[in-house]
Chain A
Amino acid sequence: AQKITQTQPGMFVQEKEAVTLDCTYDTSDPSYGLFWYKQPSSGEMIFLIYQGSYDQQNATEGRYSLNFQKARKSANLVISASQLGDSAMYFCAMSGANFGNEKLTFGTGTRLTIIP
């Protein structure tokens, strides 16, 4: 069984500072995918970034990067130069080896609040 752990229920960060949201995972699958989603107060889930377990380099998408440490089973999301619009819930998720037909397992989320 897969498990995602997000230990930070809430975070407050000053605008323009960098933010690290923690995510650890547990799986017995040799191959898996890791995802981060953002959920603003409007409720929709917005895909941010993906990391494959065999990817050699950390994934980056604009201001988002995923700090992937496979031996430690961690997949932390880093947001550089935070903005007020980054205030939202953030969910870490993982899929198993069969990406096309695999369920996503989600963590409990971190509520990020950016302070002006």
Chain B
Amino acid sequence: DVKVTQSSRYLVKRTGEKVFLECVQDMDHENMFWYRQDPGLGLRLIYFSYDVKMKEKGDIPEGYSVSREKKERFSLILESASTNQTSMYLCASSPGTFLNYGYTFGSGTRLTVV
């Protein structure tokens, strides 16, 4: 069964901490994505990557960075966590060719910044 695995289901971090959210996929997918989900706002794209060591900004990249050193792993980094980054974070992947089911998602990481 294809899988996207996010390392933590729940995280609590302090304001100002550097936070790493990890995502690993086992499907040899080219593309990986990080979204955040907030009530009333839906899913908003933070960053995405079409290849190893490549990254592109999404709609809300401020306060975040990413790393993709290996094809299967895409990390989201909160350089200095703030309370407005409390959210659900969803990682997703897709192959480099068209498939009519869009993305495969991880189970999400619910991050609370206190």
Q: Report Cα–Cα, A42/B106, bound state, in Å.
A: 11
Q: Is B61 an interface residue (CB 8 A)?
A: no
B100 close to A44 (CB less than 8 A): no
Binds A, one of B15-23, B37-45, B62-70, B71-79: B37-45
- As a 0/1 sequence over residues 56 to 99 of chain A, the CB contacts with chain B under 8 angstroms (1 = contact) are 00000000000000000000000000000000000101010001
Which residues in B have some Cβ–Cβ distance to A below 8 Å? 30-31, 33, 35, 40-45, 48, 50, 58, 88, 90, 92, 94-103, 105-108, 110
By secondary structure, the B interface counts as: loop
Q: Report Cα–Cα, A95/B94, bound state, in Å.
A: 12
B42 close to A106 (CB less than 8 A): yes
A47 close to B101 (CB less than 8 A): yes
A43 close to B96 (CB less than 8 A): no
Q: Is A35 an interface residue (CB 8 A)?
A: yes
| Total CB contacts across the A-B interface at under 8 A | 65
A103 close to B45 (CB less than 8 A): yes
Given contacts A43-B108, A104-B103, 20 further A-B contacts (CB under 8 A): A9-B40, A35-B102, A43-B88, A44-B105, A44-B106, A45-B92, A50-B102, A93-B102, A95-B102, A99-B99, A100-B30, A100-B96, A101-B30, A101-B96, A104-B102, A106-B35, A106-B42, A108-B40, A108-B41, A109-B42
B31, B50, B97, B98, most chain A CB atoms within 10 A: B98
Chain B residues with CB under 8 A of A105: 45
